[in-house]
């Protein structure tokens, strides 16, 4: 058997584990505010706001300058490179604004997807070149965790064995590099909701992908206690004619996770995957109500679902700042109640007064972040 040389010191492991535990402390989740400039253009277009650096900074400032009580609901914020070096209206760097609230700062480090030749439009993710140097700089600049997104899809021929193996290996290499530089890696193998596949097909694909990812993480000597997983929920394809209940989605998702994700992983923070705020809430709540043993915290890492109502309330107008902040905080608190549902008896139910924004699907075909 090949001997494993020590990859991390005891002190490094302790730091990574502590950071990961802070992010997914009971009731807390992650705000994914790492959308690229191009993605922000699409968001702003919907509310008829020009995609300028100042407008992007202004919207981030709305999210980041909310009352300090938001730290009860949000354990970490993922930044985009541009945002990491922007300042609030008071002239304070955004990472300091977030850290002063007791929230952990993270950074998106991948460079987007690239096609895999000989496949049916499948991709891998770029950005390993120079990653160690970038991680070291981000650590100096206040970051304590990182995110890297790999994308897979479901069709008659996908996900292929090549795409699964390649993306699993890339995620493992990224995770290893992050840990060497003191950053907790969020491992994100997203299976897109595009297609007409049913729930069982998505569960099967999710299990195959996650099994490969954790085999690769083991092969690369990644310290699992110092990682977090950001997976898709197991849902039917967006074009599937059969509709499934939150309880069915929850059972399929948690079953897939129990079969593939080691208990050493501190937390699983689901991506919203284009679900409406209401859908994302109901499905997460149903998971936390399941009478199945779950050795990891089940929480959220939402971007679109956390920001949609705030963006709609803001409309690019400074006068709407308070309304936008209230919308963001209200949904964050709701998610806190859901993820802490064992203590609160998991009694979340839609109020029946949900506005149009909270129930509107946020699905985008072949979503690029």
Active site residues: 188, 230
Shortest CA distance to 192 belongs to which of 6, 316, 366?
A: 366
Helix (H) or strand (E) holding 191: strand 184-191
Whole-number Å distance between alpha carbons of 147 and 141: 16
Shortest CA distance to 51 belongs to which of 34, 37, 30?
A: 37
Tell me how crowded residue 112 is: count the other CB atoms within 10 A of its CB: 14
Alpha helices in the chain (DSSP H): 10-23, 37-46, 53-64, 81-84, 94-99, 131-140, 161-180, 199-219, 246-260, 277-289, 304-314, 321-339, 341-344, 356-359
Cβ proximity of 80 and 108 under 8 Å: yes
Whole-number Å distance between alpha carbons of 104 and 226: 14
What is the DSSP-derived secondary structure letter of residue 284?
Answer: H
Sign of CA dihedral 350, 230, 149, 50: positive
Cβ proximity of 328 and 307 under 8 Å: yes
């Amino acid at each position: 058997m090949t001997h494993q040389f020590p990859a991390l010191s005891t002190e490094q492991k302790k730091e990574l584990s502590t950071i990961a535990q802070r992010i997914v402390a009971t009731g807390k989740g992650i705000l994914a505010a790492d959308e690229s400039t191009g993605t922000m253009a699409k968001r702003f277009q919907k509310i008829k706001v020009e995609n300028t650096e100042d407008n992007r900074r202004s919207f981030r400032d709305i999210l980041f300058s909310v009352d300090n009580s938001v730290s009860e609901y949000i354990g970490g914020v993922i930044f985009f490179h541009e945002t990491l070096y922007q300042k609030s209206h008071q002239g304070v760097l955004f990472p300091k604004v977030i850290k002063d609230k007791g929230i952990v700062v993270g950074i998106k480090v991948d460079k987007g997807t690239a096609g895999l030749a000989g496949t049916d439009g499948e991709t891998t993710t770029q950005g390993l070149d120079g990653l160690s140097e970038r991680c070291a700089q981000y650590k100096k600049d206040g970051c304590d965790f990182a995110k890297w997104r790999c994308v897979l899809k479901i069709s008659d021929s996908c996900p292929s064995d090549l795409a699964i193996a390649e993306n699993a290996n890339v995620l493992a290499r990224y995770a290893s590099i992050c840990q060497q530089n003191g950053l907790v890696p969020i491992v994100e193998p997203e299976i897109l909701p595009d297609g007409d596949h049913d729930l069982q097909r998505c569960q099967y694909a999710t299990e195959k992908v996650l099994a490969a990812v954790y085999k690769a993480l083991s092969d690369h000597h990644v310290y699992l206690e110092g990682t977090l997983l950001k997976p898709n929920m197991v849902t039917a394809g967006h074009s599937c004619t059969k509709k499934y209940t939150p309880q069915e989605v929850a059972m399929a998702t948690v079953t897939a996770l129990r079969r593939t994700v080691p208990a050493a992983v501190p937390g699983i923070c689901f991506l919203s995957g284009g679900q409406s705020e209401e859908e994302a809430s109901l499905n997460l709540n149903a998971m936390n109500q399941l009478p199945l043993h779950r050795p990891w915290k089940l929480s959220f890492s939402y971007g679109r679902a956390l920001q949609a109502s705030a963006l709609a309330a803001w409309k690019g107008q400074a006068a709407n700042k308070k309304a936008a902040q209230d919308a963001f905080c209200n949904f964050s608190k709701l998610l806190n109640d859901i993820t802490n549902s064992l203590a609160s008896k998991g009694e979340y139910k839609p109020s029946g007064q949900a506005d149009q924004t909270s129930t509107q699907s946020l699905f985008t075909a072949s979503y690029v972040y």
